[in-house]
Amino acid sequence: MDDCLWDYISAGAKDCVRALLVVNTTERMTITEALRHPWILGVKEAEETFLPSSLIEVKRARLTGRFESFRMLQEEERLAKEHAKSIDRGSI
């Protein structure tokens, strides 16, 4: 895990992946152990990471905005298809 991409991966994630990539099956982490790994459960990361409520609100607003943009894009596409169908039928 020396690749520079791993620089952005948490220590907990690296630990979990390392344990799952062990070649010897008797030493490899089992699925039960993996599901109980702190990184999978998010316990350790949650304890180490504290986001101020203002930052959470900004992230939530940004995400909501993206969902709204996506919804509007879908509606625009639906209306364009509807309009194209009406042109095909000659009802315009």
Q: Could you read off the pLDDT of 33-63 as tens digits, one per residue?
A: 888 888 888 755 555 566 667 777 777 777 7
> Do residue 2 and residue 40 come from a single domain?
yes
Q: What is the mean pLDDT of residues 83-91?
A: 82
Confidence (pTM): 0.44
Q: What is the dihedral of CA 18, 19, 25, 29, to 10 degrees?
A: -160
- Beta carbons of 44 and 12 less than 8 angstroms apart: yes
What are the tokens at 57? Answer: 């609100």
> Do residue 41 and residue 31 come from a single domain?
yes
Q: Whole-angstrom Cα distance, residue 51 to residue 35?
A: 25
Looking at residue 18, what is its pLDDT? 93
> Do residue 3 and residue 41 come from a single domain?
yes
> Do residue 46 and residue 26 come from a single domain?
yes
> Do residue 60 and residue 92 come from a single domain?
yes
Give the domain range for residue 7: 1-50
Domain count of the fold of the chain: 2
Q: What is the mean pLDDT of residues 69-85?
A: 88
> Do residue 44 and residue 72 come from a single domain?
no
* 13-51 core/surface letters (b: 16 or more CB in 10 A; e: else): beebeebeeeeeeeeebeeeeeeebebeeeeeeeeeeee
pLDDT of 79 strictly over 60: yes
> Do residue 18 and residue 7 come from a single domain?
yes
Enumerate residues 6+ apart whose C-beta is below 8 A from 2.
none
85/62: higher pLDDT: 85
Q: Could you read off the pLDDT of 19-35 as tens digits, one per residue?
A: 999 999 899 998 888 88
